[in-house]
Structure 1
Amino acid sequence: MQLDLNLLAALDALLEEGSVAGAAARLHVTAPAMSRSLGRIRRTTGDQILVRTGRTMTPTPYAIAVREQVHELLHQVRQVLAPSRELDLATMERTFTLRWHDSLVALGGPALLAAVRAQAPGVRLRFVAESSLDTPELRRGEVDLEANANRPSAPDIRAESVGETRLVIAVRQGHPLTRGRAVTAERYAAAEHVTVSRRGNLGNAIDDALARLGLTRRVVATAPTEAAAMEFARDSDLLISVPEATTRSAAADRGLVVLPLPLELPSAPVYLSWHQRYDTDHAHAWLRGLARTALATAGVSS
């Protein structure tokens, strides 16, 4: 049997209005057209739906039994075919999984969480750690929103640049680079370094910039997060090169000094990434807007 969803709307109107004329007016069709729909509904269900009693029409026991179910089914169909453009944030219940670079969680996470709790107290945020591998959680729907410096190349992954931050040096107070003359590329290269890499890479774009100047540096360790790298630097003469916006306050909390990086390097970008299935998801778009604002307010420049 081929179902006609128009009959569902007609049945709902007939059961709500209790008359052919009332249902016709409700759906903005003629009374004869609604009468024909009632005939089709009767043939489809095998029930009279409405029967005349004097000057009025009375729903049959079957019609009374399915009235609420019909109304709910029509509501669900309308939600699927014409989703609401408005969000009821006060009653929305949803859990979003966010995979952000650890420094971005520290930088913008508190402001994002505060905004979400203020607007939609039923929404929960799951911040999960980045993997050392390129994994497909965005495509599989296991992660809703990423934030890091990597622009995805997959065609079904959307990416939006929400800002950028320049690299700076962080060292302990009293470090040799904090004394005497200005920090030069030569003095920078001569120090011992800790790099930040979730994959454990010893080299990065800094080494390429130094090589163009005929310089090399000695990387003695890698750390998976900027927080761990700052712990290495706090009690030694090791230095780290990190994004300014994401580490200035954290460095100050650890007693580290932030110095300018003496190399010509482009600013580090910050991207929000999500799967294209969420392009028209209004709740997801709302979250992206809050994330964008939280990162900008916390210091990621656009």
Structure 2
Amino acid sequence: MQLPDLNLLPALDALLRTGSVTGAAAELDVSPSAMSRTLGRLRRVLGDPLLVPAGRGLVPTALGRELAPRAEQALLGAADVLTRPAPPELAALERVFVVRGSDESGVVLAPALAAAAAREAPRVRFRFVPEGDEDPADLRDRVDLEVGALPAAPPSDIRVRTVAAHLFAALVRPAAPVGDRLTLAEFVALPHVTVSRRGRAHSVVDERLADLGLRRDVLATVPAIGTAILLAGSADVLALVPSDAAAVVAGPAGLRVHPIPLDLPRVALGMLWHRRWDTDPAHRWLRDRVAARMAG
């Protein structure tokens, strides 16, 4: 669509409201001669005089009277479009956020986000979806926020924020034959339960043990932390899970948490989202709440 020169709109509004070339010029901070030339352009564009002499002043023509309220509304509408909207009232915000992450991330984040929503944004809802083989490009249209371990090279339009780094911990039932402080000997003596969505039993734990000439017995590899918790509560095994998730589930599950007696690397944790949400206040609220819980 071929648009007219929209720079004429403020002048048209000022001329029809003030009924004066001088008054309109003063209002728009231009010279009277410049405003007179603009009036000439408006007359040519609209094919109408718009303002005509009446005594010592000017009065609008029939078209001028018709256009006056329309020009004012159009100008107000344009100003509204080009004005940054006020942040939404969280109490009235209605939105469903799709959050993708590992099972462990859900264990840590779901209770914290539910509590934050209850306090601050009671109409906000969450849909937690599991991580899988999806591409980070899903953040462009299907997923609002991804949390967990960070990919090596996300697409250029995907934002990445590192929030924390965690270690793994061992969950064990109180009756298991370990002392108050888990020793390396106790660590290798008990069977292990590992959590891996892809069923991987071997990890950096095995590499560190191999450096010491030791091996462990992996009783089971399970895809979800819930299964690992059930196994730890029903047998003398060590369930190896991220330390932040261990801290959340240990009390309700009646389990003890022990640091793993190995020099293990920390796993960087963070968030990914599409850049279109950078300045969205509601999405920023979500990111801030996730970051606070992950860093805490």
Residue 268 of structure 1 aligns with an amino acid whose one-letter code is: V
Contact 2:168 2:260 in 1 (8 A): yes
Percent identity between the two aligned chains: 38
TM-score (norm 1): 0.78
Which residue in the other structure is 2:107 paired with? 106
How far is the alpha carbon of 1:159 from its aligned partner?
Answer: 1.8
Distance 1:17 1:206 in 2: 80
Match for residue 41 of structure 2?
A: 40
Query: Structure 1 residues 8-17 or 233-242, which shifts more?
Result: 8-17
Task: Give distance in 1, aligned partners of 2:284 and 2:263.
Answer: 36
User: TM (normalized to structure 2)?
Assistant: 0.79
Matches within 5 A, 1:69-80: 69-76=74-81, 78-79=82-83
SS at match of 1:270: strand
- Give the counterpart letter for 2:29 in structure 1: H
| Residues 18 and 138 (structure 1), Cα distance of their counterparts in 2 relative to 1, 3 Å cut | farther
- CA-based RMSD of the aligned residues comes to 3.2
Matched, 1:256 2:255: yes
User: Shift in Å at residue 234 of structure 1?
Assistant: 1.5
Give the direction of change, closer, same or farther, for the CA distance of 1:40–1:115 in structure 2 (3 Å limit).
farther
Partner of 1:212: 211
Letter in 1 for 2:203: N
- Give 1:211 shift: 2.3
Distance 1:52 1:100, change over 3 A: farther
Write the deviation string for residues 154-177 of structure 1: whole angstroms up to 9, x where unpaired: 24222222122222100122122x
3-state SS of paired residue (2:251): helix
Q: In the alignment, is the contact (CA less than 8 A) between 1:234 and 1:255 conserved in 2?
A: yes
Q: Secondary structure at the match of 1:39?
A: helix
Q: Aligned pair in 2 of structure 1 residues 286, 265: CA closer, same or farther (>3 Å)?
A: same
Q: Tell me the equivalent position of 2:28.
A: 27
What SS does structure 1 have at the residue aligned with 2:172?
A: strand
Question: Which ranges of structure 2 fall in alignment gaps of 5 or more residues?
Answer: none
CA contact (8 A) 1:152 1:159 kept: no
Runs (5+) with no aligned partner, structure 1 = none
Q: Would the alpha carbon gap of residues 121 and 30 (structure 1) be closer, same or farther in structure 2, given more than 3 Å must change?
A: farther
Q: CA deviation at 1:253?
A: 0.5
Question: Any conservation in 2 of the 1:169–1:242 contact (CA below 8 Å)?
Answer: yes
Change (3 A) 1:36 1:282: farther
User: Is the 2:88–2:282 Cα contact (8 Å) retained in structure 1?
Assistant: no
5 Å-filtered alignment, 1:76-225, equals 76=81, 78-79=82-83, 83=84, 87-90=87-90, 94-116=95-117, 118-120=119-121, 124-156=124-156, 157-176=158-177, 178-179=178-179, 183-225=182-224
- Partner-residue secondary structure (3-state), 2:133: coil
Higher radius of gyration, 1 or 2: 2
Aligned residue for 1:227, secondary structure, equals helix
- Displacement of 1:281 after TM fit? 4.0
Partner of residue 61, structure 1? 66
**7-16 or 152-161: bigger deviation:** 7-16
Q: CA deviation at 1:133?
A: 1.0
Partner of 1:269: 268
Q: Give the conservation status (yes or no) of the 8 Å contact 1:171–1:256.
A: yes
SS in structure 1 opposite 2:130?
coil
